[in-house]
Structure 1
Amino acid sequence: MSFFIGVVLVAFGGVLEGLFSIPVTKVKSWEFENIWGVGSLLALLLLPWPLASYYVGDLAQLYAPIPNPVFIGVIVSGIAWGIGGIYWGRAIAALGMALGVSILMGLINVFGSIVPLTVFEPAKLFTLGGYILILAIAIMIFGVIIISRAGQKREQALQIEDNKATTHRFKKSFKAGILFCLISGILSAAVNFAFIFGSPITTQASHMEVPDYATSFAVWSLVFTANFSINTIYGFYMMLKKGTLKNLGKGRFSREWLGALFMGLAWPGGIIVYGIGANAMGPYGAYAGFPMMILASILAGNLAGALGGEWRNSGSRPQSTMLVGVLVLCLAFSLLGYSTYMMNK
């Protein structure tokens, strides 16, 4: 039952991660830097330290026996994730929710699951569970390739024959978005390294009788501080540089700020829920649970993109290709859950 609940929580965390950047494509009177800077600031203030302080109590006592290299690994991972987050937002703005989330999460999966398993638990790669994990990730990559192909078909369908300037801008945006995806995919995978590096902190939290579902909060408070501080600084720096700080008081105030609030809760909230679920899945939950979260993010991002009209007027072929890619990803999700079960045996 605990394993099943862990799978459900990992999937729900993935849904939140797949949807948190919706406001980037929906707000009208704010620029990218407005929604990203305010959303990141709210993410920094609302969840990490309040949760850790409430559930752990004496954080200084918890952190005291932890070796410095653990803190360094966790914080550096958070910084890398923070830089990747900036490019994440740029990729979503350039490619849209469906295609952007699919490519981003596929890249993050490769660097965030197989690489840490190879580094920290290499022997597990050569077990039945490890082989199934590799197979599942290979299927997942194949699904992402199919989805990327669907995006290319959509690009071709939406090109405007009689407007060269519009077509040129669309192509330029697509190429830039792919580059942003690559950078973000490599750096954002560091969030799972942070979870693995921080295992001594969660162990110490268990010794202090912190509830099992909350032992990771003391790790996330450090990771989120590094990540969201970078994104907040970047967002407000760009507002000052571009003169868009005044936008914060412009337009439909409630819609823009509600979007930032949703981003500020869903972005860290998804990772927190994932951490709880990965713990419940057992000692190898972080290795297979991470790509499961990624898959749930891709599916949620594609659903949001479809409901938001991103594939409207693209024709039946791109849409059917995208559907095939989504079905392949569902198969990979099932195999990932089974691989975790086998590695825990």
Structure 2
Amino acid sequence: MNALAGVIFHFIGGFASGSFYVPYKKVKDWSWEAMWILGGLFSWIIVPPLAAWITIPGFWKIIQNTDASTLGFTYLFGVLWGIGGLTYGLGVRFLGVSLGSSVMLGLSMVFGALTPAVYYFFNKVEGKHGIDYFFTDNAGICVLAGLLVCVLGVVLCGRAGMLKEKGMAHLSAEAKAGYNFATGILVAIISGILSACFNFGIEAGKPMADVANNVWKGANPNQGEFLYQNNVSYIIILWGGFTTNFIWCFFLLLKNKTITDYRKTSAPRLKNLLLCALAGTTWYLQFFFYGMGESRLGNGASSWILHMAFIILISNAWGIILKEWKGVGKTTYNTIIIGILTIILSICIVGFAKTLE
């Protein structure tokens, strides 16, 4: 039952992450940097402490009593993840929701799932799996198989993107808008690697989550693990993410003289604000539900793979709904569909692996 609940929570989180950029596409007459930083205020500054306040009584005292080293590393990984998140927005802009998300999150999935396992192989920690787990344990082998199948799905989605570029002359103006494969794929690689740092940030901030978990379990004996324990760690990780994004977006606002976008009379300012708030809040909800899924499955490779796979799945579904593949040839369209189905298969494999533990 815990495994099923964990998969469901990860699906909801993946749906939130795979859907967050959709409201941004409806923002009118604002530059990318103007809407991105405004949405980020909700994602990284406003919503996280509000969520912690609702779910973890005394969350601020936990932060105050945490040692500087833990806070520093958690924040540092947040800064690095912030670069990944920043370039994620650019990757989606150049490649579209489906292809951009597939490449970036696929790389993030691989690095986020395997790198901590390499660390724990050389630095043994109770309850954490080393890289040998994926080659010596039936559940671990199944998780690795699911990861490889998901990578295959990502490759197929990438193949569809290259086929799409070759047929650009035949695409509709709606499908062409903003598409730049060469620039987008470079940005996507950077984003995919650095986005994995969020998982490292969760690991670094685990002492804070453990305090929240132990306090809750003391007040609720025999109730299992605390669903919202990671909400306190998210505050520090997301401060790091905000730092990176604010510096870059503020630079662009000054460089491009787009800071005046907020005063444009041609822009539907209230509507744009609400859309950015919706996008930012939806972005945060992926972490909220990831924490719930992690509390049921553990913060291991399976949690990270499921989360990333669901985001890739939903992003590609939105890409089809938003007609990013409108006008492409039959081979291209079939390739993206097969890629999506392959990712769904990988989700089933990783979910099944939890039943073998």
TM-score over 0.5 for the alignment? yes
Percent identity over the alignment?
25
- 2-structure distance, mates of 1:172, 1:47: 32
Residues 153, 192 of structure 1: alpha-carbon distance in 2 compared, 3 angstrom cutoff: same
Richer in helix (by share): 1
Structure 1 residue 206 corresponds to structure 2 residue 216:
no
Residues 86, 322 of structure 1: alpha-carbon distance in 2 compared, 3 angstrom cutoff: same
For 2:131, the equivalent position in structure 1 comes to 122
**Superposition deviation, residue 12 in structure 1:** 0.9
Let me know the Cα RMSD of the aligned residues: 2.2
Q: What does residue range 83-232 of structure 1 map to in structure 2 within 5 Å?
A: 83-120=83-120, 121-125=130-134, 126-159=136-169, 173-209=180-216, 212-232=226-246
Residue type of the partner of 2:232? A
**Superposition deviation, residue 339 in structure 1:** 2.1
Structure 1 residue 49 corresponds to structure 2 residue 49:
yes
Q: What does residue range 1-345 of structure 1 map to in structure 2 within 5 Å?
A: 1-63=1-63, 66-120=66-120, 121-125=130-134, 126-159=136-169, 173-209=180-216, 212-250=226-264, 251-281=267-297, 284-342=298-356, 345=357
- 2-structure distance, mates of 1:171, 1:92: 9
- 1-structure distance, mates of 2:118, 2:353: 15
**Superposition deviation, residue 60 in structure 1:** 4.8
- 2-structure distance, mates of 1:335, 1:254: 45
- 1-structure distance, mates of 2:200, 2:158: 26
1:202-251 CA distance string (max 9 Å, x none): 11112222781121111001111111232133223311221111212331
Give the TM-score of the pair, scaled to structure 2: 0.87
1:96-154 CA distance string (max 9 Å, x none): 11111111111110111111122223342221111111111111111111111111111
**Superposition deviation, residue 170 in structure 1:** 8.8
SS of the residue corresponding to residue 84 of structure 2 reads helix
Residue type of the partner of 2:82? G
1:276-304 CA distance string (max 9 Å, x none): 111112xx443211111111111111111
Residue type of the partner of 1:189? A
**Superposition deviation, residue 309 in structure 1:** 1.3
Contact 2:107 2:189 in 1 (8 A): yes
Query: What are the ranges of 5 or more consecutive residues in structure 2 without an aligned counterpart?
Result: 121-129, 218-224
- 2-structure distance, mates of 1:312, 1:182: 25
1:290-327 CA distance string (max 9 Å, x none): 11111111111111111111111112211111011111
**Superposition deviation, residue 28 in structure 1:** 3.2
Q: Which moved more, 1:63-72 or 1:122-131?
A: 63-72
Contact 1:44 1:229 in 2 (8 A): no
- 2-structure distance, mates of 1:341, 1:35: 43
Q: Which moved more, 1:61-70 or 1:4-13?
A: 61-70
Contact 1:23 1:35 in 2 (8 A): no
SS of the residue corresponding to residue 311 of structure 1 reads coil
1:8-40 CA distance string (max 9 Å, x none): 011110111111122444433111111111111
Q: Which moved more, 1:18-27 or 1:182-191?
A: 18-27
Contact 1:136 1:332 in 2 (8 A): yes
What is the aligned length?
Answer: 335
Query: What are the ranges of 5 or more consecutive residues in structure 1 without an aligned counterpart?
Result: none
Residue type of the partner of 1:226? G
Contact 2:146 2:349 in 1 (8 A): yes
Residue type of the partner of 2:332? P
Residue type of the partner of 2:273? W
SS of the residue corresponding to residue 261 of structure 2 reads helix
Give the TM-score of the pair, scaled to structure 1: 0.90
- 2-structure distance, mates of 1:60, 1:253: 34
- 2-structure distance, mates of 1:61, 1:30: 39
- 1-structure distance, mates of 2:65, 2:258: 45
Contact 1:158 1:313 in 2 (8 A): no
